[in-house]
Each structure stands twice: as C-alpha cells, then as structure tokens.
Amino acid sequence: MQKLYTLVVLLLVSLAAYAQDGRSIYNKYSDLANVEAVYISPAMFRLIGKIPDMPVEEGSVNLGPIIKTLSGLYILSIKEDQVAQNLADDVNRFIQKGQYELLMEAKDNGEVMRMYTVGDDFVVNSFVMLARENDEVNFICLDGTIPRDQLEALIADAASN
Amino acid sequence: MKSIDEITRLSAEDLERISLDESIPVPEELPGKVREAVAATAGQANRRRWILPSGIAAAVAVLVAVGLTLTRNPEPKDTFDDPYLAYAEVEKVFSKISGAVAYGAEKVNESEQTLDKFSYWKCKSFIPSWCCSS
C-alpha cells in the first residue's frame, strides 16, 4: 500500500515539475497588461522551413539551417515592476528545476543578462535568455533539437556582423 | 492422525461427530493457534478489501493530475499568421542574443586590455626601462 502511495506522490510531483516549462511561464504572463508576448509554434517553424528561398539581408545571419530544428519560441517582455520581478523569480525556479546550465552571464550597473541551455554535448533542447534592464525583464525561450555547434556558430556569426 | 487432505474430504456431519467425541485428546496449544490463524486470515481479507478502492483512487488522482496539467498548459495561439513575419521575429531574437554575446565578448576584451596595461605598468615600475622596450 505504501509503495502505491509513494508511486502516486512521485508521479504527481513529476507532473508538477513537468508543468514548469517555457510554455507554462508564457501562458501565465502573456495575457497580463503591459506585457509584450510572442509565440511561434512548431507548425509555424515547419512552415518557415518549407519556404525555399528565404531572403537574407546583408549583415543578417542565415537562419535557414537552424530554423528546421526549432519547435517553439516564447518571448515575454515586461515593464511593470512587480510582475517583472515575479517573472524573473518564476524563470529562475524553472531554470533550477529544469537542470539548465549557465552558458553566459553579464552584469553592468545593475543590469543582468543570463543565458542557459539544457541538452547534451551535441544537441541543445532548450535555450533560455533572461535579461533585466532597469525595471524591464525580457525572457526568451527557444525549444527544439538544435545542434550545439550550429547554434554556437550562428551566434558567433551574428555577433561578428 | 488424519492428514489435511483427509480432513477436507470429511462431511460436516463427520466433522461435528468428531468434534463431540471427547475420547479424542485436544492439544493445549490448539485454541491459541486457531485464534492466530483466524486473526491472520481476517487481516489479509481487510487488506485485500482496501487494495481495490485505493487502486481506483490512485488511478483517478493520476488522471486528474494529467488532465489538469494538459488543460492548464494549453498550446498558445501563434502570434504570426505570416511565416515571413515569424522569420523576421526569429531573426530579431537571434540578433538580440548575438548582441548580448557581443557585449559579453567586448567586456572580456576590455578586461584583457586592463590586464595588459597593468602588466605594462608593473613592468615599468620594477624593472629597468630597457627590459620593457617593446
């Protein structure tokens, strides 16, 4: 009997942990006032991937190779102070529970920007960027099966432009 | 002494007749053993009686949890209908990310330059000028 209860409790806890992801955070904040929210679905990513010749402007990066590996993009931008703080707290909890690895952190005059990834040496399953500037918090979450070398090359390429 | 098989084959009348036969000696520990056996059987029956309802309750709890998770976390509506606009947004995101990376790289560069200056002045202060001619 105790084994059964333990199993049920473990299952419920794991379900609760599973619920903490980019989507749940997006759903929680996207409808609030003073929140800018953008969501791109896996279906839309598949549609973008099917467009044969996506124009690449000079000075822009070619996202063609990586776009097919993406399955979701969640963006939240919040200016209201208390809500922004709540978002930052929620994202930090989700980062800790999701076993994300800190990729980069930059701090300057109270502004903080952190990037996290979760995956293995070859594939990134989720990329999260949390940036706090004054009273504004920006949250970007990219889900997919992104080859790590392609993602790093793309970011480096864009940074050099 | 009869074996268990032989006893189970006896009819109720035979069992009653034997139980009333006072010539058959009754072992002293028998009543205690019978009580223990009855208690153990009752405990097992009680446990069995609880397994089914608690199993059903557990299954219901799991279904409710799964249902709640799915209904409270539905897929959001796409912000863009046009894939070109969606692509432009993804491009904007990558330029934001790369901007942040470039900013970090710039900071590292600045730190390296400060370290270089520090090494230069350290060299100037303690070592003759011909040493730092470069």
Q: Which of residues 58-97 of B touch A (CB under 8 A)?
A: 58, 61-62, 65-66, 69, 72-80, 83-84, 86-87, 89-91, 93-97
Split into its structural domains, chain A has a count of: 1
Q: Which domain holds residue A89?
A: 20-160
Question: According to the model, what pLDDT value does residue A160 have?
Answer: 67
pLDDT at position A125 = 93
Interface touch A39/B79, C-beta < 8 Å: yes
Is B2 in the same domain as B61? yes
pLDDT in tens, chain A (161 residues): 666 666 666 655 555 545 468 899 999 999 998 899 999 999 999 888 887 665 555 555 667 778 888 999 999 999 877 888 899 999 999 898 888 999 888 888 888 889 999 999 899 999 999 998 887 899 999 999 999 988 888 777 766 66
CA atoms within 13 A on the CB side of B115: 6
Q: Beta-carbon neighbour count of residue A146 at 10 Å?
A: 23
Say whether both B63 and B106 belong to one domain: no
Nearest to A132 by CA among A107, A102, A97, A95: A107
Return the CA Rg of chain A: 18
Pairing assessment for the beta strands A136-147 and A35-40 based on DSSP bridges = unpaired
pLDDT in tens, B5-47: 888 888 888 888 888 888 888 888 888 888 898 888 887 777 7
The answer to whether position B130 is within a domain reads yes
Our count of domains for chain B comes to 2
Question: Could you tell me if residue A12 is inside a domain?
Answer: no
The three state secondary structure string of B65-118 is HHHHHHHHCCCCCCCCCCHHHHHHHHHHHHHHHHHHHHHHHHHHHHHHHHHHHH
Output the pTM of the full model: 0.65
Assigned domain for A8 exists: no
Is residue B14 located within the same domain as residue B43?
yes
Q: What is the end-to-end Cα distance of chain B in Å, rounded?
A: 113
* Interface TM-score (ipTM) > 0.85: no
